[in-house]
């Protein structure tokens, strides 16, 4: 993975699912950087803010029961995602490179 250069679009494929939760979270965080996923997350965030949160009075105080955020990505073997490489994500990619193929 030494050939990763900034401002390059790279398609990654997950070859093996990591056993450590921190590595799975890193891959999921990288998958969420895709523009299409970000657009979907933004729409779901707007829907939660406008419709899904429930506000009611509890002990004389307004209380908001907030809906959990939806995850649009799953770390599964064979899943692919395309990223534009930037300098700040190169260390994350290198930390999980043994689980990714590009």
**Local confidence band at 4 (pLDDT 50, 70, 90 cut-offs):** confident
Q: How many domains does the chain have?
A: 1
Reported as a single tens digit per residue, the pLDDT across 6-51 is 889 999 999 999 999 999 999 999 999 999 999 999 999 999 989 9
* Cross-sheet strand order for the sheet of 9-14: 80-84, 9-14, 100-101
Which position has the token pair 């494929």? Answer: 13
**Local confidence band at 2 (pLDDT 50, 70, 90 cut-offs):** low
Within a domain: 21: yes
> Which residues span the domain enclosing 15?
9-101
Within a domain: 47: yes
Within a domain: 75: yes
Cβ neighbours for 40, distance < 8 A, ≥ 6 positions apart: 72
pTM as predicted: 0.84
């Amino acid at each position: 993975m030494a050939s990763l250069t900034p401002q390059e679009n790279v398609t990654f494929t997950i070859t093996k699912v990591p056993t450590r939760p921190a590595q799975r979270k890193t891959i999921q965080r990288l998958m969420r950087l895709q523009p299409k996923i970000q657009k979907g997350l933004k729409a779901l965030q707007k829907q939660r803010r406008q419709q899904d949160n429930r506000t009611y009075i509890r002990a004389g105080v307004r209380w908001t029961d907030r809906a959990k955020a939806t995850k649009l990505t799953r770390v599964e073997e064979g899943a692919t995602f395309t990223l534009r490489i930037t300098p700040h994500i190169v260390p994350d990619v290198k930390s999980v490179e043994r689980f990714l193929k590009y």
